[in-house]
Structures are given as structure tokens and as C-alpha cells.
Structure 1
Amino acid sequence: MRCTIVLEFDNGDGSVVKRVEVMRLHRPIEDQTPGDVGLSLSEGKSLLNCVQQEFVVEQIERFFASRRSCVDCGVQRRLHDNHCSEMKTALGKVYYCRERWKACNCGADGARYVSPLKNYLTEASTGELRWLHVELGATMPYRQAKAVMDLLLPTSGRDNHVTIRNHTVAIGKSIQHARPVRRWCETEKPIAELGIDVGYVRRARCNRKGSGKENRAEAGNRSSSIAVVVAALGQAGKQPRVWASAMPRTRRLNQEMTRFLEDSGYGDPNEVVVLTDGAWDLAGVANDLPYDNEWILDWAHIGRMLRRVEQAIAPLAYGRLTDSGSAFELWDLFVRFRHYVWVGRIAAWQQFEARLAHLLDLRETRDPAVSSQVRKASYSLSNVVTYLDSNAESLIDYRTWQCAGGRISTGFVESSINRIVGRRMCKSQHMRWSRVGAHSVVQLRVALLNQEFHELARRQFPWIGQRRVTWPWQRTSQPF
């Protein structure tokens, strides 16, 4: 069996203007093997590359023909020179003729020569290929992204993982200040729940040339990791909108976070509720916002610390330590202490903490055999009390706040850090990043997570993702 694939170009009126034979496929009947049905992947890639080559050549020739005549006098411009050029597309590398014409004698061109493709083909690669590089480079390592493209698409020539990295950094810089196409929240809320946390990636080594003393001094002044500030905003039970930055914490960072709140539909709220784990270095990020800030200490961190105290006290729970106490006096006191922390009664849990510490001392005095377990429980209790005392202003009635539908944990921010930073930049991948490279990748992963990446791509190249065909793109040779 032989199949000939032919391209026919017309002007839209049904008359064939040009007919090009693209490829011939051969399937000898006598050499049929089980499962050998249809086109193979290599044949499909060759076919796509051939169709792309003929389509680009015909499209550029018609572009030349439509602009060869002078707009003022209508005279055909004379050819000055031409040369063969190449362009990288998502369907392989193609070659075309790049012409330069002599200017018309009427003086309408304003220059000696006219290059018609100067403003039409401004890059050596198409925008679709660059955005494809960026989407793959933001979701997987650059070398792996190159291997996936080589496996599924026709090769683009001399592209390698460095090309994908350069495109990723360039487009990451261009979209970091792009405004969203749609508002995340249609109605403005009086209170915005903003969760802030930090993820870390390893910094790349200094490769700048210079004396060893200078490099050691620079390495000493630079941290071994880059802090990525991640903020998530949204109502409880819904997918939050995410913002992230790997840039230093300057006034510009606060301006970008303010714009993030406005773009998310929370313009000029009366109050911003900030959920944090008690890291006061994050306080400067949100305190400079032009809103009234209320800090809420993350209950998940408090709960984990209380859990360690519970595990240490559980083996010591049985036993009467005072004359008026019950058989589980130590455990009952801890349960009441935990309850008062949950409802935000600071004076009450401070009082019960002192009584709890006194009972632990009594237990160690009466039973020296469990002194090591008592010291472990006392240490865990002192840790949680110190943590609560240093963040007493951020403690609230968590029970009432949760019943009102508010968030009490930064889990939605930590999951966003895992999806933005962890899966791509540090976990199970021994990578080092420059600050610019990390910031660009973070911006792209945020756009993908917020489902805004393809909208931003179509804003720059409206034809990306469109099927400009007349016939249905899915059809069979015979109806079934």
C-alpha cells in the first residue's frame, strides 16, 4: 500500500493555486507485522515538519506578494538581495527566503532598502515554541523538559536545556507585573484573610572570576539559601489565589503585595487578617501594607507543640498528686490548659500552666524512676509556654473564629509552598538557583497554579491554542 500526502493552497474560492506533494508512505502488504497499524511517532513527526515547512514557505511568499507594490504609486519594488534563514517552531525547524527590496523611486519608503519581514518575524523562534518551553521548564527540570520535547515533537535544531532556561527567565520577568485578566473575587470583602509563609531554595555558588579572597568574602556575605515569600488569599473551603516572590524584602515587595490584594478583588479592605506561624521576620512584610493588620497565630503550630506535651504527659497521667486531686489529676489539668489555649483565655492558661509545672515537680519527687520522662514533659511544656508568651498578642478565640468560617491555620499557604517551591526547586532535586532564575520560575508556577498562564500567553499571542480550520479537527474517513 502507498499513500501520497499532498498539500493544496488556494485563495478561498475553491480554485487550486498551488499543489505540493509532501510525503509518500509505504506499507508492503506481504510484510505486515502484528500491531503495525497507522503512523508511527517518527513518521508523524516527519509529516508535521514537512507540512510546517511548506506552509511557512507559502505563507511568507504570499506575505511578500501583498507588500511588494508601493502603497503610493503602486510600482513593484525591485529585489536587492535575499538569503536563506531558519526559524524554530513547535513543529520543527523550517527554512525560508528572507528578501530585501530597493526603495521605491517615489520616496514613499523613506529609506534606501525595505525589509518586509523586519517587523513580522522579529525572533528566531515562534512565540508558541517559547511559551511551550516556559510551561515545561516551569513544571520539570530543564534537561527533562528538553527530553520530553524531543520525544514527542519534531526537533527544533540546536535548542538545548540552556535555551529553555533562557526563555523561562525572560518570560518570567515579563509576566511578574502583568495584571490578571479577571478578578479573583467579584465582590469586595471587608476582611481579607492573608496567609504568609516562607520557603527556601539553595543558592547557586559564586562563579564570578576574581581572587580567591574576594570570592570567599562574597560567599561569606551571602546566605546559602534564597527565601521565597509566598502569600495565599481566599475564603475557607475554596482554592486560594497565590502570590510569591524570591526578591529581597524591600518596599517594592510590599507594593507588589498591595497590588496582589487589589487584583484579587480585595481593594482597600477595612482589615487584613494575617495568619502566620509566629515568625516575626514576616511581620515587616505585612505591617507596611496600607491596611489595618490583625495577626493570628497559626493553630497548627500550637497544636503540634501541644501534641508533644500530650505524648510526654500520657505515661505520667495516672496517680493522685494532691489531697483534693483525682486519680488522673495531671491529665485533667493538661486538658483544661489546652482548652483555655483553644478559646484564647490567656490569664487562665497561664494559671493552669503554673499548676501543671508544679504537679510535674511533685511527680518527679514522689517517683524518681520516671524523672527522665518528667523532665521531657517539663521541657515540652516550657517550649509551648514560651512560644505562646512571645506571641500572646496574636492569640484569639480559635473556637469562635472557626465557627464563624475563618481560617485558623496556614496549611493552605504551606501546601502552596510545596506546589510552587518544593516540587520543582528543592525536594528530591539537588538544584542551586540564582535569585533571578528562582524568581522567574516562581512567577511562572504561580501563574500556572492560579490558572492564568494560558490567558497571559494569549494576551501576547492571541493565536496560541486556536484551531483555524474549516473542517472538523476530529473526523473519520467513513461514518460509523
Structure 2
Amino acid sequence: MKWRVMVEVTGEEGAVTQHVISEGKRTGAGQAATLGLSLSEGKATLAGLQRVLVMAQADAHCRLRRRCGHCGASRPLKDHRSRRLVSLFGTVEVRAPRFKPCRCGVACRRSLTPVAEIMPDRCTPEYERILSGMGSALPYRRARALLAELLPLDAAPDVETVRRRTLQVGARLERAALVPPDEGSSAPATAITLAIDAGHVKSIKTYQVRSFEVMLARVGNDQGREVVFSSLPTEADRQVRQLHHVLRRLGATATTPVTILSDGAEGPRSLGAAASVGPIRNVLDWFHLSMRVQHVAQAVKGWATAVPDAAERTTMLDDAVTRLRWRLWHGQTERALTLIGDLLTDLDAALEAADDPPARKVAALLRALETYVVGQADLIIDYAAARHRGEAISTATTESTVQRLLHRRMGANQQMRWSPRGAHRMLKVRTAVMNGTLAADHAAAEPYARRPFRRAA
């Protein structure tokens, strides 16, 4: 069996041309390996179709631009050159004629290269978007190998090309994030929850610090919409305004209450407060508070294992820690502090009688918990009642966001270090991929691309 794939192109004037894209034959019958197209044949077919379409579109644009827009005469031909366009379906080399200025001298007084107008960056925007998306999701070498395996590229892009394209798209997304949303683009929200936390990325050695901090937030409204926001404070361009625009796109108004969930640190909490447009309510994340109580419970269990003679005392202490967790869960801060004080009094008396390292560790953790509860007392709420009302009480989803955005691509488990600027731009692309808006954001950021040509008149 023989087969041939042909394409028919109809021009603006109605002229029809036919082109053979690919052809082949099958000799074996009844074999699964010969059914349909193989990967190499599919790549050749796509590459041939892309070549015919690009050349036809380039020729049509050149004919259109050759005619002077003022007098209607044809511009004189200066010379012919070639220009290459890299796309997802192969590299196409087309003829790029250059035209002299029209003799009327009104519309354009310099040479004109029409192909450069439609191929400003010598690659398609879709190629750039896919390259940046793959480069943000996978290590650059792995992304390069995957693209070469599946797409009909003549030559896989270099690792440096993948890196450079990814960071260029990230820089454009950073500028586009400063554009305010359109008025009335989203319905007003009744309530908004802003869960914000910080992560850390290993720094390059020349930056003279071990790691730097990254702000990550997960913003959701009462309509079920959620948006992930990431920013590196030292490199972000007006990060408060960017987060403010995220809130506006989710329907935040001057009367929309915003609940800010944080671990109590001043940096994330102040960022959320500065970006909010309506009344705010700061809430201490239950996850961080519960983990501090858990550290005390684990120290008590370690004490019981190390000193079997103190089993009765550690059992009573374990019950007291359970009551302490219950009081904090119900927002009873004063009663929780009273219980911590009573436990510390008993432990101090026991330590005066005999020095016990496990007991000293429990006392140190209790004092740290007491200091934390006193400092965050205004942010502790009745978590049980809030959970019953269906309100958010934890930044657990934000912790998972930190894992997905930072640790899977930029985390401590991988032997890689980042500059602040590179990490910030990479996060911009990864955040757009996670939100599912990379295609729309990339198109919106196109005006901020620095193209290597000046658009013709």
C-alpha cells in the first residue's frame, strides 16, 4: 500500500496551488507496527505542512506590502535574502525580499523588509510559550530532550536557549502584572481569603547569603476561584501593587472583607494588609500553632522513653498537653496560658530537685510556646467555630503551593543555586503555569517584548 499527503492552498486572488507534503508505503500486512503513521512519518508530515503554509503566508504578505499605501505603485525590488523561522513543527527558511522606498517618497522613505514584520523574533510566539513552560516545569536539559522527542524540530534548542527564553517570558509577565484590571471584569466578591507564607531558595555563592526569601500566597473568594501569587521582595517590581491587582481580579472592593492567614510573621502579614482594599482580619494559622504544641507532645514522649521512672509524671503531662491543644483550638488563650504557667511551675520544681535533660527540653519548648502564644494572642480565634462555619483556618494549601512551586523545581533536594533575579522570573512563569493562565498572560505581555526590529511605516 502506498500513500501520499497533499495540501491545497488557495490565495487571496483565488489561485490554487497543490503541494506534496509527504508520501510512503507499507509492505507488511497484519502487523501492529505498520498501522497508521510512525512518529518519524508524523513529524515529516507536520514539518512539510508547516513549511508550505509559512512560505505561502510570507509570499502573500510580501506582495501586499510591496504596494505603496499612498500612490498604489509597486516599490522597486532591492534584493533577496533568506530568513529562518523556528516553530514547534520545524524550522522554515523563506525568501525575504527587500524593497526600496517608493518613488513617490511619501509613505516610506527607507528600505522595507516585509518578512521581518511577521517574523520579528525569528520564532513563533507559541514556540516561545511552550519552551518557557517546559523550561519552568522541568530542568532545562530534560525539557530540551522531551521537546526533541515529541516535536518535529530540526534541531533541539540549546540549553542556554531554553533558559534565556524562559527568563525573558518571566520578565515580560512581571511587567504585565502591573497593568490594572479592567473595571467590572469580575463580579464583586462577598469575602476573600488570603493565605500567605514564605519559602526559601538556595542562593548562588556570589550573592553572599545562604538563601533568600520568597513570598507565596494563595488567594480565593467565596465563588470558588483561587489564584496563586509569588514574588521575591528584593526583585519584584512593586509587589504590593501586583498583589492588589490579584485581589481586584477576584472581585475585591472597598467593602469586601479580607481574611489574612499567616504564621504571625510581620513580613507576610504586612504585605497582605498593604495590598488589601477593604477591611482586613488577621488570623494566626492553625497549622503553625498546632505544630508548636506537637513539638511539646513529642518531647514529652521522648522523656517517657528515656526515663522510664518518670512514666506517671509524663502521662499526666501528656494529658495536660492534650487539654492545652483543646483550649487553643477553641480560642481560649487565657486558659491556655494559665495551663502553660502551671506546667512550667511543676517542671521548674522538678528540675531544682534533680537535673533531667529531657525535662529541661520540655520546659524550654513550653517557654517558647508561651512566648509565641503571648505574641500572637490577638490573632488566635475560635478555630472550632470557624471550621464549623466553613471558614479557612489553615495555610496548608499554601504549604502545598510552596512544595509545588519551589521544592519540585528549585528546592533544597536538588543541587542547584539561583540568583534572585533568575528565581523571581522563573517563579513568574511557574505561577502562570500553575494558575493555567500562561497562554493568556503571554499574549497580554507581548507589548513588553523587545523585538530586534523597528516596525515599518
Aligned to 1:473: none
Equivalent residue in structure 1 for 2:296, among 304, 309, 324: 309
**Could you tell me which residue of structure 2 aligns to residue 297 of structure 1?**
284
AA aligned opposite 2:147: M
Aligned to 2:370: 385
Question: Partner of 2:381 in structure 1?
Answer: 396
Q: Are 2:186 and 1:199 aligned?
A: no
Distance (Å, rounded) in 2 between the aligned partners of 1:112 and 1:311: 78
Consecutive unaligned residues in structure 1, runs of 5 or more: 207-218, 322-326, 462-480
* Corresponding letter in the other structure for 2:268: L
The answer as to 2:110 corresponding to 1:109 is no
CA distance in 1, matches of 2:376, 2:339: 18
Deviates more, 1:403-412 or 1:282-291: 282-291
Aligned residue among 239, 248, 255 for 1:262: 248
1:245 equivalenced with 2:237 (yes/no): no
The SS at the match of 1:113 is: coil
Task: Tell me how far apart the structure 1 counterparts of residues 23 and 376 of structure 2 sit (CA, whole Å).
Answer: 75
Per the alignment, do residues 391 and 19 of structure 1 end up closer, same or farther by CA in structure 2, a change over 3 Å counting?
Answer: same
1:429 equivalent among 414, 437, 445: 414
Q: Give the structure 2 partner of residue 143 of structure 1.
A: 141
Q: Aligned pair in 2 of structure 1 residues 181, 414: CA closer, same or farther (>3 Å)?
A: farther
Structure-2 separation of matches of 1:80 and 1:241: 53
1:210 maps to: none
Corresponding residue for residue 226 of structure 1: 212
Comparing both structures, which one devotes a greater share of its residues to helix? 2
C-alpha change, 1:264 and 1:181, in structure 2 (3 Å) is: same
User: C-alpha distance in 1, partners of 2:217/2:427?
Assistant: 12
Match of 2:167 in 1: 169
* Offset at residue 165 of structure 1 (A): 1.4
**1:466 alignment partner in structure 2:** none
CA drift at 1:413: 1.2
Counterpart secondary structure, 1:45: helix
Please list every run of 5 or more consecutive structure 2 residues that lacks an aligned counterpart in the other structure.
447-457
Work out the CA distance in 2 between the residues paired with 1:372 and 1:274. Answer: 39
- In the superposition, the TM-score normalised over structure 2's length comes to 0.84
CA contact (8 A) 1:7 1:20 kept: yes
Rounded Cα–Cα distance in structure 1 between residues aligned with 2:183 and 2:323? 48
How far does residue 422 in structure 1 lie from its aligned partner after superposition? 1.7
**Matches of 1:460 and 1:387, distance apart in 2:** 44
SS at match of 2:238: helix
CA contact (8 A) 2:253 2:278 kept: no
Deviation at 1:411, TM superposition (A): 0.8
Distance (whole Å) between structure 2 residues aligned to residue 160 and residue 110 of structure 1? 38
1:19 is displaced (CA, Å) by 2.2
1:24 is the counterpart of 2:23: yes
Work out the CA distance in 2 between the residues paired with 1:354 and 1:285: 34
Deviation at 1:6, TM superposition (A): 2.5
CA RMSD between the two structures = 3.3
Q: Give SS of 1:413's match.
A: helix
Normalising by structure 1, report the TM-score: 0.80
Any residues of structure 2 matched to 1:57-96 within 5 Å, and which?
Answer: 57-96=55-94
| Letter of the structure 2 residue corresponding to residue 296 of structure 1 | V
SS at match of 2:33: coil
Are the aligned partners of 2:43 and 2:152 in contact in 1 as well (CA < 8 Å)?
A: yes
Q: Give the letter for the 2:103 counterpart.
A: N
Rate the CA distance shift 1:249–1:62 in 2: closer, same or farther, 3 A: closer
Distance 2:156 2:320 in 1: 71
Paired with 2:62 and 2:260, the residues of 1 have a C-alpha distance of 59
Aligned pairs (5 A) from 1:448-467: 448-459=433-444
Distance verdict in 2 for CA 1:163–1:251, change over 3 Å: closer
Match of 1:276 among 253, 256, 262: 262
CA contact (8 A) 2:203 2:212 kept: yes
Give CA deviations for 1:145-197 in whole Å, capped at 9, x if unaligned: 111110011225473121121111111121233456998963322x5321111
What's the offset of the Cα at 1:55?
A: 2.0
Question: What does 1:329-340 align with in structure 2 at a 5 Å threshold?
Answer: 330-340=317-327
> SS of the residue aligned with 1:21?
strand
Q: CA deviation at 1:89?
A: 1.0
CA distance in 2, matches of 1:97, 1:344: 74
Higher Cα Rg: structure 1 or 2?
Answer: 1
- Verify the 8 A CA contact 2:214 2:232 in the aligned structure 1: yes
Match of 2:333 among 346, 349, 367: 346
Q: Distance in 2 between matches of 1:256 and 1:116?
A: 38
Structure 2 CA distance for aligned equivalents of residues 136 and 181 of structure 1: 30
State the AA in 1 paired with 2:265: A
Q: Following the alignment from structure 2 to structure 1, what is the Cα–Cα distance between the partners of residues 349 and 325?
A: 21
Q: Equivalents in 1 of 2:405, 2:204: separation in Å?
A: 19
Q: Distance in 1 between matches of 2:16 and 2:317?
A: 94
How far the C-alpha of 1:230 sits from its partner, in A, is: 0.7
Contact map agreement 1:181 1:455 (CA 8 A) in 2: no
Q: What SS class does the counterpart of residue 187 from structure 1 fall into?
A: coil
Does residue 35 of structure 2 align to residue 37 of structure 1? Answer: yes
After superposing the two structures, state which structure 1 stretch, 329-338 or 112-121, moved more.
Answer: 329-338
1:9 is aligned to: 9
Residue number among 39, 52, 55 corresponding to 2:53 in the alignment: 55
**Deviation of residue 236 (structure 1)?**
7.9
Q: How far did residue 251 of structure 1 move?
A: 8.9
Distance in structure 1 (CA, Å) of the matches to 2:73 and 2:214: 60
Displacement of 1:259: 2.4
Residue 299 of structure 1: how far off its partner (Å): 1.3
Question: Take 2:138 and 2:218, find their aligned partners in 1: how far apart are those partners?
Answer: 23
Aligned residues: 436
Contact kept, 8 Å, 2:3 with 2:23, in 1: the verdict is yes
Contact 2:262–2:285 under 8 Å retained in 1: yes
Q: Judging changes above 3 Å, is the alpha-carbon distance between structure 1 residues 58 and 311 closer, same or farther for their aligned structure 2 residues?
A: closer
CA separation in 1, counterparts of 2:383 and 2:143?
45
Contact 1:183 1:264 (8 Å CA) reproduced: no
